[in-house]
Amino acid sequence: MRRYEAVVIGASAGGLDALKALFTGLPDDFPLPIAAVLHLHRNTKDELITLMQRDIRLTVKYAQDKEKIKKGVLYIAPPDYHLLVEDDKTFSLSVDEHVNYSRPSIDVLFESAADAFRGHIIGIILTGANKDGSMGLKRIKARGGTAIVENPRSAQFPDMPLAAISETEVDYILDVNEITCKIDELVGAL
């Protein structure tokens, strides 16, 4: 059985609702770190974290530069910063140019996490109205990780899931509530 070390998630339009639905079902003692990029306006404030923490049992916080990644925490990419995973399993933040019109970019997180965690990572693409994340998910799959995409038929905005499916031979295409069960199943095999 594969031993997973992290989960990375990307969402755009409709993503806050999808993330809350996904994480509401996870226990507060979830054994892996989770890093998520949600396309946020650069002026988004800390209320987002407070709002998410109300519905999610995991600790939710914005990732910080040079922060060591810890199990059982949901890290959100801060507004207007790319979030990257370094080889030593710490985060770094970047203000490099936008990727796919976005900063933070899902592709940036996914590609760096794929390189750091290799085949021990689960990548998830949720609802969204662009193609960000499709190349990053492809890298996760190429490095031996597991690729999960929200079912475009049930996604609030299907463009991002459809782009990911067109670029990558994904392992699972599931509704959000099914993704939670699949994560439990995959991680339960630790």
CATH number of 6-187: 3.40.50.180
Cis peptide before 27 (omega within 30 of 0): no
What's the pLDDT score for residue 1?
58
Distance CA 121, CA 41 (A): 27
Give catalytic status of residue 12 as yes or no: yes
In the chain, domain spans: 6-187
- Classify 60 as helix, strand or coil: strand
Give catalytic status of residue 82 as yes or no: no
Cβ atoms within 10 A of the Cβ of 95, count? 8
Residue among 82, 102, 112, 132 flagged as catalytic: 132
**Mean of the per-residue pLDDT values for the chain?**
92
Two structure tokens written together for 119: 């085949």
Give catalytic status of residue 39 as yes or no: yes
- The dihedral built from the CA positions of residue 150, 112, 16 and 51, taken in this order, carries a sign that is positive
pLDDT tens digits, 7-16? 999 999 888 8
pLDDT tens digits, 84-127? 999 999 999 999 999 988 999 999 999 999 999 999 999 999 99
